[in-house]
Structure formats: C-alpha cells, structure tokens
Structure 1
C-alpha cells in the first residue's frame, strides 16, 4: 500500500513514460478465449494505446480509450498470464502491469448447441456514470462459460458463467443507453441476445474535480475515528468498497472538502471491507470533516462516501 503526500499531488509525468496500468483482471470467455480488463489510466502523461501481452508475447494493441480486450486462439485447459503496458504520444512504453492469470475450460467435442437466451434482463442507474445489470442465468447442454454484455451492437464486457450481474462504468451523464446480454459456452457457441433494457443515466452533480459530490459507486458504511500514539493523533478510516467490474486501486481522502492524501493499494488490493490510518498532527480537540471516494476501473471518480466529523483526542 502506498499513500501520496498531502494534497495528493504528484508530478505531471512530462518527459516520463506512462505508469503501469493497474487493476488488470483476466477471465476465460470460452475454451479458446480470455477477456482481459484493466483500469483506464488518467492524468499525465496521456496514454494513446495499450499493448496486451500473453507471457512475454504481445498479442493485441488497442487505443487509449479502450480498457478491455478479448484474447482469442488460445488452447483449452491451459493457464495463461496476461499483462498490459501503456504507450504515450511520443511512443514511450511504460512498464508492464502486474500479471493476471486465467485458465481456459476444457473443450467439448462436437458441441454445436448454443446456450439458451438470457432472460429477465434488468438494469438501473448507479449514479450518473454507471448502471447495474442483472439477468436470469442461461442453460446449456454442457455449461455456460461466460456472458457477453453489449451496449447497442458493441460488446463492451464479459463476465464468468457463474455470474448473473455486473456494473457497467464509464458512461456519460444524462444519456440513454440500450444493453443486451448473450451467453457463451466453452465451444464458443453464442446464444441469441436477451431482451434489451434501456436506461438513462441521470445528469448527476459529480464533476470529478474534487469539489462535486457525485451520485454513484460511493464507498458505503464509512466510519472514522481517531487514536493517539507517542503524542501524535491519527485518523482511522474503514469502509465497504463499491462493487465494480475490475479492481479499485486508488482512493482520494478529503478533510473539510479539500483533498489531503491519496491512498494507492499495492499489487493485491483488498476486496470488500477496507481500512486505512494516517497522521493528522499533534493538536488535540481539532474537529474535521472527512470523506473518501474511489477511482473506478474506467478512470473516473466515483461518488463520495457519507461525510463524518471527527475530533482529535476524543
């Protein structure tokens, strides 16, 4: 775990290669494909492309606006490791991300029957930049390997066959979207599309600049206390992390509505409940309002948690 200094400001990265992409995940889509996803980089230097590697072999390249890809032509029943590197406009290539592994399922001989169509697709906004989707699971004569999520006619994500819900992030406020889901088996047979669900994201007040409050993907059950050690006071925070597709690797912490530090998890970010403690000074009786927000896998900021007031020495 790494925390930035007060005000959470770093260098702008001018003249330096991009950082390693964070939050890389991999999930088998079929016996011959794996869906790789990562957190979209934000800030400087600007990222113009991502290179995706299987082991040490480059297998794909996508524009900087894309943060997921399907790697195909793989072997069944095989463990693969994937990593991602970012490239800036000057061609500088950043270091590789942490590796994410996935094992493709076994191939099924002479399987030509597609899974049944996913039914009862439902959805609702999760703030102004995300939606939550859920559906009834499909059936297959062998097994459902994955579900493909489509926005309009474009596949935007894939989840494992045991998963019947997901969160789609990176959307625009005040915009109408149409989503469908298709089931896929290990032989790459794909079902017909579910019925479409149409969702309009609200025009939320979140402005992503540290001042707005946002409306979705907020940390929940946020708690704040203080403790004293060796004459110094520390602020102790704990919260339940937002449920997102991908991995949350960074949080911004604000005191009295001003950013004071950034919390950046290391190679293995925690799941579910999280906690963090940091130094706030030696003055007793100091009252401050504290809140946090997460940087989502698509690179946007989620909504702020409930704001708590804490007083040192109490």
Structure 2
C-alpha cells in the first residue's frame, strides 16, 4: 500500500521530497465539476492551514499537483488529510486481484485481433476466458448504478467513469477495468436500454474517453453512429469524436456532417477528418497513441488479419 496515497512520493537528490498526482478522479466526489492541479493546490493550502502543516512549496500545473517539503512526516500528514477526501487506496483496487491466465505479451495481441482491428468472436472468448474482469469497490458501485433505475445515480456513476477515463491512460502492466472489454459491455448494455438524454449523453462521453485512452473497441461504433442522427448537436458531436477514436470507419458518415447546421458539429467533423484516427487506404498505417499499442505489434497483426 502507498502511504502517500492519493499522491506518490518522490525523493530529490538534496534530501527533500515531493508529493505528486495527476489522478484527479480521486477527488470527483469533492469537486463536482472536476478538478486540476491548481484546484488541488487550493485544497491542500486550506488543509495545511487548518492542520498547521508548514513548509509546503507548490509547483503545480493544470495537469499535475505537486508539493515539495523537506519534512517527510509533514508530507505524509498532508497526504493523510487529502486521503480523508479522496478515500482509501483500497477503494480503487480489486479486493482479490487475480493474475491473468494469459501471458502478458499476449494480452495486447488478443485485444487487437478480437476487439480493436476487427471483431473476432473466437479471439474475444479467449481473452475473456483468460482475463477476468476485476472491479474495485467503486467500480462495483458504478456497475450497480448503471443496472438500476435511479437516473441521478446513473449520471453520477457515468460522470465519475468519464473523469477517470480522461485522467488515466491504458495500463501497460495489466488490463484495468477501463480497458477491459467486459466493462465496456456494461456501458453497451446501459445504452441498449435507451436511457434518457442526460445519462445517455454522459455514457457516450464516457465511452469516447475510454476508446480514446484505454481501448478503442470497434463494438462502440454502432452507438457513435446512432448518435450522428440525433436531433441534439451535443450527441452528433460526441458521435463524430467517438468514431474518430476507432481503427476504421466510414468517412462518408463524417463528411456529411461538415455542413451541419451546428458550427460545433461541423468543426468537429472537419477536425476528425483531418486528425482523427483512421485509415484512408491500405498504404497508410494506423498509429495508436504510444501508451496504447506498439506500432510493430499493430503492423504484424494487420498482416496476419488482412494480409497487408
């Protein structure tokens, strides 16, 4: 367990220490509209004043909270106060983690061949049989909310899923809940129940964030495509951006929206056509973000799947 949670400690060469974090989703219950490094700095200053923790020097950015201190005990004391707000580390980890039955080097290959480059049911089954979905207590609560009928609880769960998806990237050491196809299925099942607009839109946003930073699952395409025809511009916009995270999609679906009556939709369509993740032809290799899949593995899987 990390005694500096929700931060992590860094020791400097001069013997001083720093506590840093960019996992802002730990504070979603406190900051209802999300937070960044400067928000946490304001919170930390308030806690330090209230509990008489001295000597703090801040070096925060919008995307990172960082505080320096020479007294390690005082730094731990600040992290303890932050932990009273964020919750314990155990809230964010499965109670009984299990090792995948599949070798780590095979995990990405099965994801690529079963969910990302194409949808292959046999490969999907191999992955799901070998890598059980493990949910932390918080994620179990999210899943329960999405299976229930309380719209307010659904929206809050989706808001926090969205926040965590945006504040983290795909883990390289193993498959987290956000990057697990079985967790995406929970979102698909929720969307399949035809929710009302507010949770529906938040679910699409959460799905876009997961596809962009964790697992660009081709099964999400039909939900993004359906959103393109929605009467509300926010839905059309997220549908465009969501498709732009996926390996391949019909460019005509995006092109027709470059003349949308909503300027934000038209602009999103133009940006996605220019910068979105797509393949124009067989000579252009799709490149995933560096944290997601290695280009070498993607090209090998493409050759094995498509013969190119």
Comparing both chains, which one has the higher relative contact order based on Cα–Cα distances under 8 Å and sequence gaps of 6 or more?
1
What is the TM-score of this pair, normalised by structure 2?
Answer: 0.24
What is the TM-score of this pair, normalised by structure 1?
Answer: 0.24
Higher helix fraction (1 or 2): 2
